[in-house]
Amino acid sequence: MTDATLSEALKEAYASAPSDVTILHTLELRHPTFFDDDGNPTAIRVVRDNISHFCTLEDTAPLDAGKTVEFIAMAFDLQLPPVETVPVPEITLTLDNVSTEIIQYLDNAIETQDMIEMTYRPYLSDDKSCPQMNPPITLVITDIQVDVLKITATARMMDIGNKSFPAENYTVSKYPGLSR
């Protein structure tokens, strides 16, 4: 089954593997506790390459939409979920040689109930003006192990089957008519 979210340029790069164009696999990790030194919300952004790259995010990105941001070079491994109808696709991610800064961000995130969101965006080395997948894949990290050498995480698509509907909580303070 073909993936309709991939751009024609990315499909061509996968099919022909030109020697002068590389596929840049990027990850973005977001959490409400991730802040930069100035107190602004930030994300951990890495690219699977030996040098860092500046790439432009899509206009619908949850953080820094439409802006050009830096993806730091880091060794990581992930296997994308298959393009099929499984209940909740799941992947395993491994980040090697993580910095103490990333571990500090993760330590802050573990102390809360909020989930870490992860977005995968492929770019082409000759066109970093937008991701070559629309929309990019966004997953939620459900399990994470950190040691001195690497981070191993399990991520899955949002489990909408277990989400309450409607997603609004009817409380007495919001709807006084419920009180008798």
Could you read off the pLDDT of 117-143 as tens digits, one per residue? 999 999 999 999 999 988 898 889 988
Given a contact cutoff of 8 angstroms between Cβ atoms, the answer to whether 132 and 8 are in contact is no
Mean pLDDT of 36-59: 93
State yes or no: pLDDT of 70 exceeds 90.
yes
Q: How far is CA 132 from CA 39, 57, 68, in A?
A: 31, 10, 15
**Mean of pLDDT over the chain:** 84
pLDDT of residue 1: 40
Gap between the Cα atoms of 174 and 157, Å rounded:
31
Gap between the Cα atoms of 124 and 51, Å rounded:
14
Given a contact cutoff of 8 angstroms between Cβ atoms, the answer to whether 144 and 106 are in contact is yes
Gap between the Cα atoms of 140 and 119, Å rounded:
9
pLDDT digits (tens, 9 = 90+) for 80-106: 666 666 667 788 889 888 888 888 888
State yes or no: pLDDT of 79 exceeds 80.
no
Q: How far is CA 35 from CA 105, 163, 179, in A?
A: 9, 28, 41
Confidence of residue 166 (pLDDT cuts 50, 70, 90): low
pLDDT of residue 119: 93
